[in-house]
A and B are shown apart, each in its own frame.
Chain A
Amino acid sequence: MTEKKIDRKLIRHIALLARIEMTDEQAETLGRQFAGIVAYMDKLGELDTDGVEPMAHALDVRNVLAEDTPGRSLPVEQAMANAPARDGGFYKVPKVIGDSQ
Chain B
Amino acid sequence: MSDILNLSALGLRDAIAAGEVSAAEATRDYLDAIEAMDKKVCAYNEIFAERAMGRAEEIDKKRSAGKTLGALAGVPVAVKDNICTSFGRTSCSSKILENFHAPYDATVAGKLESAGAIILGKTNMDEFAMGSSTENSAFNATRNPWDTSHVPGGSSGGSAAAVAARMCAAAVGSDTGGSIRQPAAFCGVVGLKPTYGRVSRYGLVAFGSSLDQIGPLARDVADSALLLGAIAGHDTHDSTSIDRPVPEYLASLDKPVEKLRVGLVKEFHSESLDDEIRAAVDKAVKIYRDAGAEIIEVSLPHSRVDTDEGGQLSSYAVACYYLVATAEASSNLARYDGVHYGHRTADKVGDIIELYSRSRAEGFGDEVKRRIMLGTYALSSGYYDAYYLKALKVRRLIKNDFDKAFENCDVLLCPVAPETAFKIGEKTADPLTMYLSDIYTISVNLAGIPGVSIPAGLSESGLPLAVQLLGNVFAEETLLRAARMYEMASGITRLTPEIVKEN
Residues of B within 8 A of A78 (CB): 103
B61 at the interface (CB under 8 A from A): no
Q: Is the pair A2, B361 in contact by a Cβ cutoff of 8 Å? A: no
- Return the contact of A40 from the options B319, B373, B473 (Cβ within 8 A): B319
Chain A residues with Cβ below 8 Å from B320 are 44
**Which single residue of chain A is at the shortest CB-CB distance from B363?**
A20
User: Is there a chain A Cβ closer than 8 Å to B382's Cβ?
Assistant: yes
**Contact among B103, B330, B376 with A74 in the assembled complex (CB-CB below 8 Å):** B103
In the complex where A41-B319, A49-B393 touch, is A57 in contact with B210 (Cβ < 8 A)? Answer: yes
CA distance A93 to B197 in the complex (A): 37
Within 8 A of A (CB), among B266-323: 302, 314, 316, 318-320, 322-323
- Whether B393 pairs with A18 at a CB distance below 8 angstroms is no
User: How far does the alpha carbon of A79 sit from the alpha carbon of B343 in the complex, in Å?
Assistant: 16
What CA separation (Å) do A33 and B380 show in the bound complex?
A: 18
Determine whether B6 belongs to the interface, using a CB cutoff of 8 Å to chain A. no
B214 to chain A, nearest CB (A): 15
Q: Which residues of A contact B355 (CB under 8 A)?
A: 93-94
CB distance from B91 to the nearest CB of A (A): 12
Chain B residues near A30: list those with CB within 8 A: 369-370, 373
Q: Is B338 an interface residue (CB 8 A)?
A: yes
Encode contact with B along A38-69: 1 for CB under 8 Å, 0 otherwise: 10111111110100111111110100101000
Number of A positions contacting B (CB below 8 A): 53
Please indicate the chain B residues that have their CB under 8 angstroms from the CB of A74 in the complex.
103-104
B500 within 8 A of A: no
- B339 interface neighbour in A33, A53, A84, Cβ under 8 Å: A84
Instruction: Give complex CA distance A4, B382 in Å.
Output: 10
Set B101, B353, B380: member contacting A19, Cβ < 8 A: B353
The complex places the Cα of A37 from the Cα of B323 at a distance, in Å, of 10
Contacts of A24 in B (CB 8 A): none
B179: min CB distance to chain A, Å = 16
Q: Kindly state the separation between the CA atoms of A37 and B446 in the bound complex, as whole angstroms.
A: 19
How far is it, in angstroms, between the C-alpha of A41 and the C-alpha of B360 when the chains are bound?
A: 26
Would A33 and B448 be within 8 Å (CB), given that A18-B372, A43-B319, A59-B242 are in contact?
Answer: no
Taking a contact as CB atoms under 8 Å apart, the answer to whether A19 and B356 are in contact is yes
Question: In whole angstroms, how far apart are the Cα atoms of A37 and B104 in the complex?
Answer: 38
Find residues 13-63 in chain B having any chain A CB closer than 8 Å to their own CB.
Answer: none
With CB as the reference atom, state the residue of chain A lying closest to B353. A19
- Contact partners of A20 in chain B: CB under 8 A: 357, 360-361, 364, 369, 372-373
Q: Are A94 and B352 in contact (CB under 8 A)?
A: yes
- Do A59 and B473 have beta carbons less than 8 Å apart? yes
Which of B67-75, B147-155, B250-258, B384-392 contacts its partner?
Answer: B384-392
B399 in contact with A84 (CB, 8 Å)? no
Pick from B100, B352, B445: contact of A96, CB under 8 Å: B352
Q: Is the beta-carbon distance between B370 and A58 smaller than 8 angstroms?
A: no
User: Contact between A43 and B314 (Cβ–Cβ < 8 Å)?
Assistant: yes
Separation of A83 and B377 alpha carbons in the complex (Å):
30
Q: How far is the CA of A83 from the CA of B374 in the complex (A)?
A: 28
Provide the B183-227 mask, 1 if CB < 8 A to any CB of A, else 0.
000000000000111000000000000110000000000000000
Contacts of A21 in B (CB 8 A): 354, 357-358, 360-361
Q: Which residue of A lies closest to B390 (CB)?
A: A44
Asked if B376 and A14 sit within 8 Å, CB to CB, the answer is: yes
> Min CB distance, A7 to chain B, in Å?
13
Q: Are A34 and B448 in contact (CB under 8 A)?
A: no
Residue B404 at the A interface, CB < 8 A? no
Complex interface: chain B residues within 8 A of A38 (CB): 377
Is residue B1 within 8 Å, beta carbon to beta carbon, of the partner chain?
no
Q: Which residues on A sit within 8 Å (CB–CB) of B431? A: 33, 37
Question: A85 to B361, Cβ gap below 8 A?
Answer: no
Contact with A41, one of B101, B236, B387 (Cβ below 8 angstroms): B387
Given A47-B316, A52-B393, A94-B350, is A17 in contact with B380 using a C-beta cutoff of 8 Å? yes
A49-B393, A58-B448, A82-B342 known, 7 other contacts, Cβ within 8 Å: A1-B387, A18-B330, A38-B377, A44-B391, A47-B302, A49-B390, A81-B103
Q: Which 8 A-B pairs have the closest CB atoms?
A: A58-B448, A82-B341, A54-B392, A84-B344, A49-B393, A21-B361, A55-B396, A21-B357
